[in-house]
């Protein structure tokens, strides 16, 4: 079982190389990240974008452009569409955001005519966090895409967290359904949804994990808090996965881990026919590498 982000790279290297397609890869951040993943033996890389710009960036970075398959498309929206088309046509296993704006990137993924989204699929964001103050990796969602997930969306996110844990070698992850309290309060929607999802798991409607909730964050990740509150739970104090009730809770947790707790992470978008890397310019080179490695492990 993978217990540190670094191990994802080794695990990905042990598998057949996946093919990553970068949409509008005109920037040094994207080219550097894909180049590094190629050097690590994780992927083969296709860059969709303006060929002259890509060649100039490669020269500036002293990177051999011959490492990549370069497909000419100077328009960012068309480049995003072309990248999705390559995936749908079986020419790639992982999609990656380049210099294209996030809204255009997401529009290309969600375009029903393109065929990257299965019918009734729910797109979500999954993050694997390594916090120096926690004893193992935490797989969390959703911190970036669904603002206020309803019950169906929470069920989908729960399954995505479980699938990601399985890809990391954890066959029976412990999933904590986070709320402001571990008490079952009917007036708090997060508690009600957590109670329903927990009961569904108990009855085998959600498989492959031990699920409990509602759990407050302290009882989910701190055994002492769970013991003080006399909480009997297989998940409490030892969670592998955290389902957040809304994007505010998830996003604050995500940023707190990186900015104050000096945690590191890898993150992908799931729900489409392939995992998608949605990195920002603010992400470190290491974060991008971990995100590509995670996508390579999750990709079919």
- Dist CA 6 CA 136 (whole Å): 13
Pairing of strands 18-23, 276-277: unpaired
Which residues of the chain have a pLDDT value below 70? 281
CATH topology of domain 124-259: Isopropylmalate Dehydrogenase (3.40.718)
Max Cα–Cα distance, the chain, nearest Å:
64
| 241, 124 Cβ separation under 8 angstroms | no
- State whether the Cα torsion 255-258-260-261 is positive or negative: positive
Query: Helix, strand, coil: what percent of the chain each, to 5?
Result: 45, 20, 40
Determine the pLDDT at residue 285: 81
> 152 burial class (0-12, 13-18, 19+ CB within 10 angstroms)?
exposed
Angle at CA of residue 225, ends 140 and 125, nearest 5°: 5
Angle at CA of residue 287, ends 16 and 297, nearest 5°: 25
Six-digit token string for 60 = 């500036």
Residue spans of the domains in the chain: they are 5-120+272-298, 124-259
- Dist CA 47 CA 148 (whole Å): 34
* Alpha-carbon distances of 102 from 170, 270, 299, rounded to whole Å: 31, 15, 21
Determine the pLDDT at residue 135: 95
- Token pair 């909480």 is found at 231
| 94, 299 Cβ separation under 8 angstroms | yes
CATH topology of domain 5-120+272-298: Rossmann fold (3.40.50)
- State whether the Cα torsion 32-33-34-39 is positive or negative: positive
pTM (two decimals): 0.94
Determine the pLDDT at residue 281: 67
- Dist CA 255 CA 139 (whole Å): 14
| 122, 153 Cβ separation under 8 angstroms | yes
């Amino acid at each position: 079982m993978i217990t540190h982000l670094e191990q994802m790279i080794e695990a990905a290297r042990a598998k057949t190389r996946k093919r990553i397609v970068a949409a509008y890869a005109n920037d040094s951040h994207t080219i550097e990240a894909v180049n590094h993943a190629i050097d690590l033996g994780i992927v083969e890389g296709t860059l969709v974008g303006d060929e002259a710009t890509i060649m100039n960036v490669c020269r500036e970075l002293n990177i051999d452009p011959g490492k990549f398959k370069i497909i000419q498309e100077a328009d960012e929206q068309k480049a995003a569409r072309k990248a999705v088309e390559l995936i749908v046509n079986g020419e790639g296993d992982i999609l990656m955001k380049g210099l294209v704006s996030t809204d255009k990137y997401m529009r290309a993924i969600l375009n029903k005519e393109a065929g990257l989204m299965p019918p009734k699929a729910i797109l979500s964001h999954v993050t694997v966090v390594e916090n120096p103050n926690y004893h193992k990796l935490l797989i969390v969602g959703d911190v970036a895409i669904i603002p206020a997930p309803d019950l169906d969306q929470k069920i989908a996110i729960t399954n995505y967290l479980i699938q990601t844990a399985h890809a990391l070698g954890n066959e029976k992850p412990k999933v904590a359904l986070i709320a402001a309290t571990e008490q079952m309060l009917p007036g708090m929607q997060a508690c009600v949804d957590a109670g329903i999802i927990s009961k569904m798991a108990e009855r085998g409607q959600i498989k492959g994990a031990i699920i409990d909730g509602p759990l407050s964050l302290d009882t989910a990740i701190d055994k002492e808090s769970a013991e003080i509150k006399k909480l009997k739970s297989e998940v409490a104090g030892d969670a592998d996965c955290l389902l957040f009730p809304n994007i505010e809770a998830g996003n604050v947790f995500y940023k707190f881990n990186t900015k104050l707790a000096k945690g590191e992470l890898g993150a992908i978008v799931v729900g489409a026919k392939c995992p998608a890397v949605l990195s920002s310019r603010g992400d470190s080179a290491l974060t991008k590498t971990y995100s590509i490695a995670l996508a390579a492990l999750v990709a079919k």
